[in-house]
Amino acid sequence: MALFERDNDIYRDRDALREDYQPEQLVGRDEELHTFQAALQPVINGEQPNNIFLYGKTGVGKTAATKYLLAHLREDAAQYDDIDLSVTFLNCDGLTSSYQIATRLVNSLRSESNQISTTGYPLASVYEMLWEELDDGAGTVLVVLDEIDHVNDDSILYQLPRARANGNLEVAKIGLIGISNDFSFRDDLSPKVKSSLCEQEIHFPAYNAENLRSILEQRAEVAFHDDVLSPEVIPLCAAYGAKDAGDARQSIDLLMKAGDLARDEDTDSVAENHVRRGRRALERGRIKEGINGLTEHGHLVLYALLTLDLEGETPIRSRDVRPRYTRFAELANRDPLVPRRMRDHLSELAMLGIVSVTERNEGRRGGTYREYALDMDVELILSAMSDTVELVGVHDSIDDYVDDDDEPTTLEDFNEV
Ligand SMILES: Nc1ncnc2c1ncn2[C@@H]1O[C@H](COP(=O)(O)OP(=O)(O)OP(=O)(O)O)[C@@H](O)[C@H]1O
């Protein structure tokens, strides 16, 4: 018997749930698409394009909307002989400088045999080459910079939108479309960059449960066989998605995880319990990844809070976490951080959803302070922190959670902290 056999009972086309799938229609984004479309209209009119800045949290359809409208724009522009439109799409994750982006753009406009090296030129010369290539092409060029907040210097964000106004381009028409999910990026732009880059700003709000439901229904129709999903599956994925962050990507991932669990179990339908278990599995993955990405001191702070939590000491103020954290740092042979930096680590843990924070008022004089507690299951945290536990030693409170054969490496007074 073959070791591998096709199992297509659940999915018709599982790839439709993957990140790279471009849906034919975008649902629940009429207003944003309308504004975006109007901002692109000058291209079809043969006019100078607008510079457009799209912003909103992750997974709210900024990239999908851009790809969708630009595909239509290219198709529709092809009917007009006097429009020569080209679109360059760059994701700036990994392209952190204006120099890198400018060289990429030059190369995207040049033939394979005429590419420039991505290092070694002065930035001004790369810009010269860019203007030359653009003017030689004499057409309309739209440059999309996705995740634009990764760019560390703002030279290109000023140069591209202002190329015509600054006399660098004579015939070519260039428009920049910047996309970001980092709200502080826009606020921190210098006024001159902001006024040119953000000529037209479009905000994409988070999706609500109803939006997510429509998005999931559209996707499920392509991805799953008819009648495979129990009626509660999509509403539940949408409800979780709306509660978390209104992120379509997360909801689609959850639907796929539920489908995968059902497929692994060889059942012929996806049920509510697959969604619930899928959510837990995804959550675990996300938290584990978050913990793995923390610094050593982040782990020490978390370990301190975890042991205090198991002893029933939480919610707890940062100054009361400190003695244990300091002790753990000493046991690990590390210099403890100052209280303020230790508190930053607690805030980071809160941002990751591992720790919960409650603001409290301090009596009538009105000061506020924060209390921290653990918001995640102990086993999961410990499984991602085994190195720290080994370095510091096994605290009494976690004894029940570690394997018996893991000999504690405690120092004598360790559990008195
Ligand atoms: N309105 C929608 N209709 C159908 N699918 C959508 C819609 N909005 C988002 N999606 C899907 O959700 C996923 C995430 O969307 P997208 O990549 O556009 O988000 P984003 O806002 O660009 O996020 P990020 O800032 O993380 O890049 C994609 O698979 C996309 O196809």
Give the CA angle between residues 289, 334, 392 to the nearest 5°.
65
Judge whether 61 is annotated as a binding position: yes
* pLDDT of res. 389: 94
Instruction: Look over the chain and give the mean of its residue pLDDT values, rounded to a whole number.
Output: 90
Q: Is the CB of 35 under 6 A from ligand 1?
A: no
Ligand 1 atom closest to the Cα of residue 66 is 18
Q: What percent of the chain stands above pLDDT 90?
A: 65
- Tell me if 61 CB under 6 Å of ligand 1: yes
Domains and CATH numbers, the chain: 30-203 (3.40.50.300), 209-290 (1.10.8.60), 294-416 (1.10.10.10)
Give the separation between CA 256 and CA 258, rounded to whole angstroms: 5
Ligand 1: nearest atom to the Cα of 252: 12
Looking at this predicted complex, what is its ipTM? 0.97
218 Cα–ligand 1 center, Å:
13
pLDDT band at 405 (very low <50, low <70, confident <90, very high): low
Check whether 162 is labelled as a binding-site residue.
no
Q: What is the pTM of this model?
A: 0.79
The residue whose CB lies within 8 Å of the most ligand 1 atoms, and thus the one to mutate among 179, 215, 256, is 215
- pLDDT, residue 376, reads 80
pLDDT at 40: 96
Q: What angle do CA 52, 53, 55 make, to 5 degrees?
A: 150
Atom of ligand 1 nearest to the CA of 20: 29
Q: 298: annotated binding-site residue? A: no
Q: Which of 80-89, 124-133, 305-314, 394-403 has the lowest mean pLDDT?
A: 394-403
Query: Is 219 annotated to bind ligand?
Result: yes
Residues 411, 353 contacting (CB under 8 angstroms): no
- Which CA distances in Å does 158 have to 193, 253, 414? 5, 37, 57
- Tell me the average pLDDT across 183-190: 84
Q: Going by CA atoms, what residue is nearest to atom 8 of ligand 1? A: 61
The predicted-structure confidence for 19-48, as pLDDT tens digits, reads as follows: 989 998 999 899 999 999 999 999 999 999
Residue 207 labeled ligand binder: yes
Structure tokens at 345: 């680590």
What's the confidence (pLDDT) of residue 229?
96
Given a cut of 70, whether residue 406 has pLDDT beyond it is no
